[in-house]
């Protein structure tokens, strides 16, 4: 039976029932990767031998009657900024291209405990800075729906790998939309959990008050099963929340009654693509058909989200990336004409090791934190961040969820925005708010453009309400009926 493109729950059930072995599943996915990965280029490295060894171990344990985790034998891809012991974690940067992690991240540990089979590390925007997977130091990734278009970013390789059928689950990180925007562009489901719900131990930092790890999956069930595996407190991460962790998958198919869905009028602006507008409007109608009350709400400070984010995130990045200096960590430039001075060595190592987008954000952040402008930029951005969070708190007094587009546009062509960073930054317009407020948010497919490109809709929930968020998303997913669309993408890719 062909398992490529099938859902996580289908694979997990078939493995448990003995309909397929973990080794057969791994071999089928690895063969599919070998055949189609050159078109997509979603992986920086495929863990072929490691995956087959892990799959054989799962089969052996199952045959011996040992208790296995919920993802035992399921192929999973992992973003290149999340540490896997013994494997390279480069953040798609020349600065770390030879860094081999001496330990597992918390999320990697949890996945391995659940029996997942890691099939490779995925491409990304360098140090997670980008919205198109084009700032990778190695190569851009293509969108499986249209190979001339971007898969989004920064978790573009993860989203593309799921859409292409290379794995039913991929792990990404989300600092300002880096799970949700590529999920929207690739027609898959992407979940950013509440800040602190999933440990960041072993995630190579971009902006520490915003970064969060989460799943990208073929469907909402897959995202829920993955969150079951990776969520929970971890004492190695000081920001990890000591909140109870329910089973996110147990009640997934139980509809929610009395739903109140908030819609923000300001989101319907001139920058919103017409086909995105129509698809999101159909999602609103779908909830109305399901019995939800649609409530118009106001998020008056949301308009400042992009400006706030592009002060705070680069400021934190400039601090976090200061360690990559050619001495403590990372790439070290060789002296060309005699020995370097220390300053020259720093300059050359960072100048050669970082790409243009990373340099741009480091300079922005260093300036915002500098004496004389700190109060005008960084301090003011923190104050407006609090106002944005307060807007959501007030909105959730009258609604259960906030619904919006995930991205203002469908997938754009590779190279189309590479020389216009401001236009690229505006792709995060609808996703940034959830990061600034630390809230859980999900993107799921809600339709296609006239040219067949996927469109995503976003739901944002109150903090630590992932269980309700996933149930509400499942309701919409079933109403829209996306099941066959992803299979069509995989089939088209394999036939090209």
Query: Tens-digit pLDDT profile for the chain (496 aa)?
Result: 489 999 999 999 999 999 999 999 999 999 999 999 999 999 999 999 999 999 999 999 999 999 999 999 999 999 999 999 999 999 999 999 999 999 999 999 999 999 999 999 999 999 999 999 999 999 999 999 999 999 999 999 999 999 999 999 999 999 999 999 999 999 999 999 999 999 999 999 999 999 999 999 999 999 999 999 999 999 999 999 999 999 999 999 998 999 999 999 878 777 899 999 999 999 999 999 999 999 999 999 999 999 999 999 999 999 999 999 988 888 999 877 766 788 888 899 999 999 999 999 999 999 999 988 999 999 999 999 999 999 999 999 999 999 999 999 999 999 999 888 888 888 899 999 999 999 999 999 999 999 999 999 999 999 999 999 999 999 999 999 887 788 889 989 988 6
Tell me how crowded residue 273 is: count the other CB atoms within 10 A of its CB: 15
DSSP string, 104-163: --HHHHHHHHTT-EEEEEE--SGGG--SSS---SS-PPPBTTBTTB---SSSHHHHHHHH
The answer as to whether 163 is a domain residue is: yes
The answer as to whether 321 is a domain residue is: no
d(CA 108, CA 85): 9
CATH number at residue 31: 3.90.1300.10
**Number of domains within the chain:** 1
pLDDT for the residue 482:
86
Q: Which residue is catalytic, options 178, 249, 315, 407?
A: 178
User: Is 178 tagged catalytic?
Assistant: yes
pLDDT for the residue 269:
78
Residue positions counted in the chain: 496
The answer as to whether 383 is a domain residue is: no
The answer as to whether 52 is a domain residue is: yes
The answer as to whether 207 is a domain residue is: yes
pLDDT for the residue 355:
97
Q: Which residue is catalytic, options 42, 92, 154, 173?
A: 154
User: Is 154 tagged catalytic?
Assistant: yes
Helix locations, 41-92, DSSP H = 48-63
pLDDT for the residue 159:
98
d(CA 221, CA 212): 20
**Beta bridge mates, 444:** 457
pLDDT for the residue 338:
65
The answer as to whether 288 is a domain residue is: no
pLDDT for the residue 418:
86
What residues make up the domain containing 20?
8-260+398-495
Q: Which residue is catalytic, options 79, 136, 173, 443?
A: 79
Class of residue 3 by CB neighbours under 10 A (exposed 0-12, middle 13-18, buried 19+): buried
The answer as to whether 3 is a domain residue is: no
Q: What is the pTM of this model?
A: 0.97
Crossing angle of the two packed helices 274-289 and 466-480, in degrees rounded to 10: 100
Q: What is the chain's alpha carbon radius of gyration, rounded to the nearest angstrom?
A: 21
pLDDT for the residue 495:
83
The answer as to whether 301 is a domain residue is: no
pLDDT for the residue 484:
79
Which residues does 233 contact at the CB level (< 8 Å), separation at least 6? Answer: 199, 240, 241, 242, 243
Interior angle at CA 445, CA 280 and CA 200, nearest 5: 110
């Amino acid at each position: 039976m062909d398992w490529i493109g099938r859902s996580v729950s289908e694979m997990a059930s078939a493995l448990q029932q003995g309909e397929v072995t973990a080794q057969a599943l791994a071999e089928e996915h690895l063969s599919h990767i070998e055949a189609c990965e050159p078109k997509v280029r979603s992986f920086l490295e495929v863990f072929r031998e490691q995956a087959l060894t892990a799959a054989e171990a799962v089969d052996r344990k199952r045959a011996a009657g040992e208790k296995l985790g919920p993802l035992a034998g399921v192929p999973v891809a992992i973003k290149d900024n999340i540490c896997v012991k013994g494997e390279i974690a480069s953040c798609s940067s020349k600065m770390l291209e030879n860094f081999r992690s001496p330990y597992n991240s918390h999320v990697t540990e949890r996945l391995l405990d659940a029996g997942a089979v890691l099939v490779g590390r995925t491409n990304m925007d360098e140090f997670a800075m980008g919205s198109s997977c084009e700032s990778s130091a190695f190569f851009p990734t293509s969108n499986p729906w249209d190979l001339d278009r971007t898969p989004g970013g920064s978790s573009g390789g993860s989203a593309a790998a799921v859409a292409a059928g290379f794995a039913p689950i991929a792990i990404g990180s989300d600092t300002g939309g880096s799970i949700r925007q590529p999920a929207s562009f690739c027609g898959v489901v992407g979940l950013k959990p509440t800040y602190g719900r999933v440990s960041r131990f072993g995630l190579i930092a971009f902006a520490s008050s915003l970064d969060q790890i989460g799943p990208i999956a073929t469907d909402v069930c897959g995202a829920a099963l993955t969150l079951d595996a990776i969520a929970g407190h971890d004492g190695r991460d000081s920001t990890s929340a000591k909140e109870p962790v329910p089973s996110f998958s147990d009640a997934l198919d139980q509809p929610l009654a009395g739903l109140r869905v908030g819609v923000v009028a300001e989101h319907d602006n001139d920058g919103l693509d017409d086909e995105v507008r129509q698809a999101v409007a159909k999602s609103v109608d779908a909830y109305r058909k399901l019995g939800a009350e649609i409530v118009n709400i106001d998020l008056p400070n949301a308009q400042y989200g992009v400006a706030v984010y592009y002060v705070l995130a680069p400021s934190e990045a400039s601090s976090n990336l200061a360690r990559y200096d050619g001495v403590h960590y990372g790439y070290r430039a060789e002296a060309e004409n005699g020995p370097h001075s220390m300053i020259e060595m720093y300059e050359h190592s960072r100048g050669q090791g970082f790409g243009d987008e990373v340099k741009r954000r480091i300079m922005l952040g260093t300036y915002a934190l500098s004496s004389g402008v700190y109060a005008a930029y960084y301090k003011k951005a923190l104050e407006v961040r609090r106002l944005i969070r307060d807007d959501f708190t007030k909105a959730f007094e009258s609604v259960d969820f906030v619904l919006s587009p995930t991205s203002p546009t469908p997938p754009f062509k590779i190279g189309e925005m590479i020389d216009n960073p401001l236009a690229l930054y505006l792709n995060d317009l609808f996703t940034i708010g959830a990061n600034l407020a630390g809230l859980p948010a999900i993107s799921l497919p809600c339709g296609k453009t006239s040219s067949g490109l996927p469109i995503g809709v976003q739901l944002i929930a109150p903090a630590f309400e992932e269980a309700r968020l996933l149930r509400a998303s499942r309701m919409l997913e079933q109403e829209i009926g996306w099941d066959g669309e992803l299979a069509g993408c995989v089939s088209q890719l394999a036939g090209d």
